[in-house]
Chains A and B, each alone.
Chain A
Amino acid sequence: MRSAFTSVVARDFTLAVRQGGSIGTAIGFFLTVIVLLPLGLGPDQQLLQRIAPGALWIALLLSVLLSADRLYQRDHDDGSLEIMALSSTPLEVVVLAKASVHWLTSGLPLAIAAPVFGFLLNLDTTLIVPLGIAMVTGSLALSLLASLGAAITVGLRQGGLLVSLLVLPLYVPVMIFGVLASSGAQSGIDNSGTALIILAAIVLAALVVTPFASAAALRSYMR
């Protein structure tokens, strides 16, 4: 079972890296949001510092969502998903592997890059480490939930809009606790420790629920 997991991860990761598109697109989109923001809001350094953690989280969320709808698309179209479903490996494991690859190719690189891009928004330097930790943790939940959205809409022609509509309510708690965990004492009292623990709990809940829900959705598309 473990080898099936790793082989799916290896296969998808190789595909993603060889094609090259996904990581580049995610970072490019992320950078676009970060650059456009000060241009729209004005160059006030204090304002930018205050909104920097939230802005970085918004950029992360949008970039993860951007790559979400094609998570299963190709494997569904060419039938390899059905072969995976017919094999002895539970579909839940395949789902988990695919969500991990999505995290490795979009969430994780962005979470590492975000504190660096934070300089463009005058991010408080003491927040770099908490922001990085919160983003690495939170993006795991984002990828899992995105994979659920992608699984639910995989057989549909216009899945893109539906993915955003379905995933947005699920992203609300991640967003709230992610920003709280990475903004330190900015809003008065420092709740970042508690927020990070709750964020981790949300990740665990997503880890339990999404593979089963996604696998059930994929199965009903295959019948």
Chain B
Amino acid sequence: MRLQSTVQPWVWIITFALFGVGLFLGLARAPADYQQGETVRIMYVHVPAAWSALMVYTVMAVASIIGIVFRHPLADIAAKAAAPIGAAFCFLALATGSLWGKPMWGTWWVWDARLTSMFVLLLLYLGYMAIWQAIDDPRRASRIAAIVAIVGFINVPIVKFSVDWWYSLHQPASVFRTDGPTIHPSILTPLLIMGLAYSFLFLALHLISIRSEIGARRIRQTELARTGALQ
């Protein structure tokens, strides 16, 4: 706890600095794409959101494994606290992808391999959070939610593989390629900085969430003890 309160301001400073530099480089310095024009700038919020959605799910799954193997409550709390943040990133990746797709592909939604697997990831996040909502007892909820997270973690690469296969068979004739020519450093640098900025934002929000969750459990225990004492 004490370590957290000394680290936290620094995490926020780094987060804001990275966002400042990344947005400046991405919006003001990086050139517009010769094919996509200014629309390419959506990439600086879209791609980092997708990366972080995957990263947060990995964090969640690893924390769940630690929680289920070593029965450490902090790991369960860390997994639970990560889920809403990851779901928000995942939603943003889908929303900005859709906003990118409309001018480039002509439709809001394409059953593209990446969009589809991102959508499945959002479903996994929602299912995980629904489990925590549905089960009252935190110890039981953490066990069940960990199973859901781990099975989902095994499922993600299988879904990615199958959707890639599926899409390559059903691919429409003319489609805009997301993996265009090799990325120029003037575009790659802001992209990587934005990726780091998203990671630090996750870290900052995650730390606060973990602390609230620990507090919420203490409140729950105190209240339970009190109702027990009253009877």
Q: Are B169 and A169 in contact (CB under 8 A)?
A: no
Residues of B within 8 A of A166 (CB): 127, 130-131, 148
- Other-chain residue from B123, B135, B140, B151 in contact with A165 (beta carbon distance below 8 A): B123
Across the two chains, which residue of chain B brings its CB closest to A158? B134
Chain B: interface residue total (CB-CB under 8 A):
29
User: Within the assembled complex, what's the spacing in Å between the Cα atoms of A169 and B124?
Assistant: 7
Give chain B residues whose Cβ lies under 8 Å from the Cβ of A187: 169-170
| A169–B147 CB distance below 8 A | no
CB-nearest residue of chain A relative to B120?
A: A169
User: Contact flags (1/0) for B133-159 with A, using CB distance below 8 Å?
Assistant: 011000010011001101110110011
Q: What 13 additional pairs, Cβ within 8 angstroms, besides A169-B155, A173-B158?
A: A165-B127, A165-B130, A166-B127, A169-B120, A172-B163, A176-B165, A176-B166, A187-B170, A205-B154, A213-B151, A216-B143, A217-B143, A217-B144
| Chain B positions within 8 Å of A223 at CB level | 140
A152 — nearest CB in chain B belongs to which residue?
B144
Chain B residues with CB under 8 A of A153: 134
User: Is B162 an interface residue when CB atoms closer than 8 A count as contact?
Assistant: yes
Chain A residues near B161 (CB-CB < 8 A): 173
Q: Is B126 an interface residue (CB 8 A)?
A: yes
Q: A162 interface residue, CB < 8 Å from B?
A: yes
* A interface, size bucket: 20 to 34
A191 in the interface, Cβ–Cβ < 8 Å? yes
Alpha-carbon distance between A209 and B151 when the two chains are bound, in angstroms: 8
Q: Is the CB of A180 within 8 A of B166?
A: yes
Residues of B95-135 at the interface with A, using a CB-CB cut-off of 8 Å, are 120, 123-124, 126-127, 130-131, 134-135
CB distance from A127 to the nearest CB of B (A): 16
Closest chain A residue, CB of each to CB of B166: A176
Q: Given A152-B148, A180-B169, is A221 in contact with B127 using a C-beta cutoff of 8 Å? A: no
| Closest beta carbon of chain B to A98's beta carbon, Å | 17
What is the chain A residue whose CB lies nearest that of B160?
A173
Given A156-B134, A172-B162 in contact, is the A216-B147 Cβ separation under 8 Å? Answer: yes
